Amino acid sequence: MIKVKVYTNQKKIKIIVNKNRLDIYLTEKPQNNKANQQLIAVLSDYYNKKVVIVRGHLSCNKIISY
């Protein structure tokens, strides 16, 4: 499981790897689950595996499993 901090409504999509979490910058707004869908798509491409949000569906701090 991976800790993720999500920053929404940004200009570019970026992934920054820190010691104990990933900082992910997304272009979508956190409305109607669009940012979560983009997060899953970005991380699925990054890891080449299916990704699931385990905790934090409504928070910017999430726990991801793949």
pLDDT digits (tens, 9 = 90+) for 28-45: 999 999 999 999 999 999
Give the HSE-up count for residue 48: Cα atoms under 13 Å, Cβ half-sphere: 0
What single DSSP character describes residue 28? S
CATH of 2-65, one of 3.40.50.720, 3.50.50.60, 3.30.1200.10, 3.40.640.10: 3.30.1200.10
The pTM (predicted TM-score) of the whole model is 0.91
Q: Which residue ranges of the chain lie beneath pLDDT 70? A: none
Query: So where are the chain's domains?
Result: 2-65
- Three-state secondary structure call for residue 15: strand
What percent of the chain lies above the pLDDT cut of 90?
98
What single DSSP character describes residue 62? E
